[in-house]
Amino acid sequence: MFKPRTIFSALTAIILAFAISTQIYIQPAVAAGGTCNPTVGNLPICPSTAPSESASFVDPTATITNPTNITLGEKVYVAPFAQLDATNAPISIAADSNAQDQVKITASGTGVQIGERVIMAHMAVVKGAAKIGTQGSTGPFTDPVSNTQFSNTVPETFLAFNCEIDGATIEKNTVVNFLARVGPGVTLPAGKVVLPGKNVTTTLQASSGTSGKVVNLTQADVALMEGIIEVNEAFAKGYTDLARADLTNVTGINYAPVTFFNSGGLPQIGGSPTRDPNYRNRIIGNLTFQDSLPTLTNKLANRISLRADEGEPFNVGSITGMANDVVFHALETTSLTLGNGVGYGPRALVHGGRQVVDGVADGPETSIGDAVGLGPNSVIFRASIGNRSAIGQRSAVFNSTVVPRTHIRSRTIYADNGSIILPVEW
């Protein structure tokens, strides 16, 4: 999902309707101006005839409801088990944007408009009549770290892990951090960053630093977003190339695409390289599982996406249980180490990355010890969790090393080794 940077800003149904085995195609529905509708003939490559350099890619596990009411621009990446529901109103996603694993977009009213270069990170939710990255200033903004002015004329917008946008307008050059929410009728203006766990219910709260809910955008935020866009554009091309070589390359347990940041390759399960295009979950790239495939199948629920297609390798100990909708991913050049006896609750996210020390991301990588429990909707990012710890539901551990036998309460943001402990307000 992310491209790492040396400087890090603090506080970040129609399921595939064609049978791949028979390669059934219907005449694609292609819109003007380099856009397309993800109809049967345009899946998983949209549009089906586009060059790899400009094509969008929709993972075959994504749920696309009323595709003629959905428009994708060029180089859009829609990741495993994302859900785009345009039953009641249109959805448009412009060029160079991405909807990552488990993202849910449910349009109503006037619909959901996603502008260019919008990042919808793992498990972000957008609903109602919403506008994301379609308007707003490109600067100048004042960087609160360096106290210098900067502009971003090629703007990005970042919706982070497990955040929710409910009928709001999120302008360009903004960040909505993990487990934060922006509510109906609110406009988050350009140059603002919503802090983790905050519930923004008025435009005044979204505009004023005195509310304690937002801070100013930094140049490091912009650099991070640019890297994320670059990686996800590479995914659109890489998975398109895999699919064109063989449609069964992009389903089940399978290859990661070879990119400038990943070597490709297959998962190792129970000591053997494994490829199973018919597997119900998506397990991709350089992961090593201690469990055998039959044992793993008994322990894993559904709609699970374990992607070592950016950071690698992932080393996964014996799993106690994994509920629906779990996601593993990692920053480029980083790995994941997951211990034995870990229980993963529904919609738990474990994301690799190095801890930031004195502004530089060169600390310990993400890891989970033995006999750890992760609650529903929990987030582990740039963090090491000690043995026999428990992370409550809708909580996040960020940029921290948690000692063994620690209990993080539900709806808690635990950051920077406990120097920041905040409630999740919604």
pLDDT for res 21: 30
Whether 28 has a pLDDT exceeding 50, the answer reads: no
Residue 34's pLDDT band, with cuts at 50, 70 and 90, is: confident
Q: What is the rounded average pLDDT for all residues in the chain?
A: 93
* 101 compared with 31, residue with greater pLDDT: 101
State the residue for tokens 């619909």.
Answer: 111
pLDDT recorded at residue 23? 33
Q: Which amino acid is at 275?
A: R
pLDDT at 3 over 70: no
Helix (H) or strand (E) holding 233: helix 219-245
What pLDDT was estimated at residue 329? 98
Minimum mean pLDDT among 4-13, 43-52, 241-250, 392-401: which range?
A: 4-13
Q: What is the pLDDT of residue 182?
A: 98
Query: How high is the pLDDT of residue 168?
Result: 98
From the list 221, 200, 219, 220, the residue with the least C-alpha distance to 211 is 200
Average pLDDT, integer, range 108-112 = 98
Q: Which of 2-11, 248-257, 391-400 has the lowest mean pLDDT?
A: 2-11
Mean pLDDT calculated for residue range 268-290: 98
* Averaged pLDDT for residues 155-167: 98
For residue 333, give Cα distances in angstroms to 176, 229, 314, 336: 25, 16, 12, 11
Binning pLDDT at 50, 70 and 90, where does residue 27 land? very low
Residues 6+ apart with CB under 8 A from 152: 138, 139, 141, 173, 222
Percentage of the chain modeled with pLDDT above 70? 92
Average pLDDT over residues 192-205: 98
**Residue range 19-24: average pLDDT?**
30
Judged against a pLDDT cut of 80, whether residue 30 lies above it is answered with no
